[in-house]
């Protein structure tokens, strides 16, 4: 067993005891999006959260030596919940964007991956905006992908249907109720690897990057005034990278080589 894997296992065990201690004793309260977002965060058959970001959160709290607790909030209300001090930081695959920075601050990026468009298995890989005229996109509401589709494809004549979760958009794609779905490539490739995804859909391509809309990777959201917490979290993120723990987590969830993770500093 590698050193980093031993550290990861110890972190998971320590975090489990930390969360069991309850919110009243917590040093840091983490806000999670209540909507499933596999392979990053979703509840298993026993109702327990699991995924890449859950392992990341557990390892982060162990690295900090802090007691942590979690709070579930709907995605479209997670930033207001942070600013109203219902918790101290967000871990929810939230992209660092100029628009969000007007309201909250972010840690350094802890992972990143490009956007992806998927659609029916017909071999058509044209993803130019004009090709989508009269077609319907399904996207999760209040996301960078919703903003991107509005900016580039709705403006070219596409229709846009928003959903509370990405899973709902993928279900409508499989049923033929929408023509395309745009989202994070890691979650969409995971879907395409599933039996349901293999049966209906294929990757169409990566839309051109626009950092103003798509952001600079995923960061932990924090309140603007919480600079000491931000600095502490940044040190822990880069320590986890230096120890190889982020790589181990990525391997565990089959994401190694598919994503960019934080680099040691």
Tens digit of each residue's pLDDT (9 = 90 or more) over 171-186:
999 999 999 999 999 9
pLDDT at 244 over 50: yes
Q: What is the pTM of this model?
A: 0.83
pLDDT for res 24: 46
pLDDT at 155 over 60: yes
Cis bond before residue 241 (omega within 30° of 0):
no
- The per-residue pLDDT for range 182-199, each reduced to its tens digit, is 999 999 999 999 999 999
Q: Rounded to whole angstroms, how far apart are CA atoms 206 and 258?
A: 14
- The per-residue pLDDT for range 214-236, each reduced to its tens digit, is 999 999 999 999 999 999 999 99
Cα-only R_g, the chain? 19
- Could you tell me which residues come within 8 angstroms of residue 131 by beta carbon, excluding any fewer than 6 positions away? none
pLDDT at 126 over 80: yes
Q: Rounded to whole angstroms, how far apart are CA atoms 8 and 248?
A: 8
pLDDT for res 21: 39
Provide the 10 A C-beta neighbour count for residue 190.
18
Q: Rounded to whole angstroms, how far apart are CA atoms 5 and 42?
A: 22
Provide the 10 A C-beta neighbour count for residue 60.
28
Q: Output DSSP code: residue 229.
A: H
- The per-residue pLDDT for range 54-85, each reduced to its tens digit, is 999 999 999 999 999 999 999 999 999 999 99
Nearest of 86, 113, 57 to residue 249 by alpha carbon: 57
- The per-residue pLDDT for range 15-51, each reduced to its tens digit, is 444 444 344 456 999 999 999 999 999 999 999 999 9
CB 115 within 8 A of CB 207: yes
pLDDT for res 265: 81
Overall average pLDDT of the 132-161 stretch = 97
């Amino acid at each position: 067993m590698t050193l980093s894997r031993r550290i990861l296992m110890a972190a998971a065990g320590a975090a489990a005891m930390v969360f069991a201690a309850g919110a009243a004793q917590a040093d840091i309260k983490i806000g999670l999006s209540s909507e499933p977002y596999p392979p990053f965060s979703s509840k298993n058959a026993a109702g327990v959260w699991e995924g890449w970001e859950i392992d990341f959160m557990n390892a982060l709290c162990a690295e900090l030596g802090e007691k942590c607790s979690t709070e579930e909030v709907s995605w479209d209300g997670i930033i207001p919940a942070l600013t109203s001090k219902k918790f101290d930081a967000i871990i929810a695959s939230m992209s660092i964007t100029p628009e969000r920075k007007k309201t909250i601050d972010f840690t350094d990026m802890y992972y990143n991956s490009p956007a992806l468009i998927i659609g029916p298995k017909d071999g058509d890989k044209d993803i130019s905006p004009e090709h989508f005229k009269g077609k319907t996109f399904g996207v999760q509401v209040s996301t960078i992908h919703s903003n991107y589709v509005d900016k580039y494809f709705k403006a070219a004549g596409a229709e846009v249907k928003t959903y509370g979760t990405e899973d709902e958009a993928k279900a409508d794609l499989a049923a033929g109720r929408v023509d395309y779905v745009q989202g994070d490539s890691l979650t969409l490739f995971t879907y395409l690897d599933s039996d349901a995804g293999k049966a209906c859909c294929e990757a169409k391509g990566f839309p051109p990057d626009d950092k103003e809309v798509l952001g600079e990777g995923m960061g932990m959201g924090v309140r603007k005034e919480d600079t000491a917490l931000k600095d502490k979290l940044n040190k822990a993120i880069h320590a986890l990278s230096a120890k190889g723990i982020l790589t181990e987590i990525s391997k565990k969830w089959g994401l190694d080589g598919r994503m960019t993770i934080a680099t040691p500093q």
